[in-house]
Amino acid sequence: NEEENIELVVNDVFKWFKHQHLDGEVIAVNDGSEDQTGPLLDRMAVSNNRLNIIHHNENKGHGKALISGFSQAKGEIWGMMDSDGQIHAEDFAGLLPFVRSKQIAIGRRVKRVDPFLRKVFMRIYALLVWIILGVRVKDVNCGMKLFHSSDWPKLEPRIATGGFFHAELLCRAKRSSILLKIVPVSHYPRHGGKQTGASIKVIKTIVVELLRLRRGL
C-alpha cells in the first residue's frame, strides 16, 4: 500500500543505476496491496523492460515478498530496499564497495526521523536479537542490504517469512561465516502513507518468535 511513494522510489533506483553506469533491474513485489500500487507499477513496467513486477493476490508478509523478489533475481549483486521512500537509492553507493562473496553490506539508519517510541522499540528489538540469536546489529530491520548472489542459498530465510526475515537472514549470515559490513545510510520522512509496526505491546510476541526461530535454525 505505497501508491504515494512507489513511483518516486522506483525512479530513484533507476536514476542511481544511470549515475553509476549500471545495467540493473528492479523487481517490485506488490504484496496484496489494497490501493493503486499494483496498477501503478504495471503502467510503469509497460515502458520499462528493466522493471519486473510480481503480484501477490493476498498479503503474504514482508519476508515472503522479499523471497518472491529474489526468486526472480538475476545478475551478480542483489539488493533490497523498502518502498516507503525513507531511504534513497543513492546510499547504495556506500554499500557497493563492500560487496563480495562471503560478505554482505547492510545499512544502518542514522539520525532517524521516526517517532521516539519507535526508536525505543527498535533498540529493544536489536537487544533481543543479540541476546536470543547472538547477532549484534543495531539496525536489524534496515531495508537496505546488498550481497553477492552466490551467498543467497546460505542467507535465504526458511523459517521467518514475515517480520523476522531480516533477523533470520543476519543469523544465517553469521552461522555461514558471511561477514557483516555495516554502512551508515540517511533516513528521510515519508512522502505519504502510514508507517506500520513497532509497538511496545508486541515485545512478548517478539521474544516468543525469536525463541522459536532459534530452535528452528
Pairing outcome for strands 145-148 and 103-109: antiparallel
Q: Structural domain tally of the chain? A: 1
CATH code of 122's domain: 3.90.550.10
The per-residue pLDDT for range 7-17, each reduced to its tens digit, is: 999 999 999 99
pLDDT at 117: 86
Whether 30 is covered by a domain: the verdict is yes
Confidence of residue 195 (pLDDT cuts 50, 70, 90): low
Is the torsion defined by CA of 26, 118, 212, 131 positive or negative? Answer: positive
Whether 1 is covered by a domain: the verdict is no
Whether 162 is covered by a domain: the verdict is yes
Sheet holding 179-185, edge to edge: 77-80, 145-148, 103-109, 179-185
Whether 52 is covered by a domain: the verdict is yes
Grid coordinates belonging to 160: 521467518
Whether 97 is covered by a domain: the verdict is yes
Residue numbers of the domain that contains 195: 6-216
Whether 149 is covered by a domain: the verdict is yes
What's the whole-model pTM score? 0.92
Distance CA 150, CA 143 (A): 20
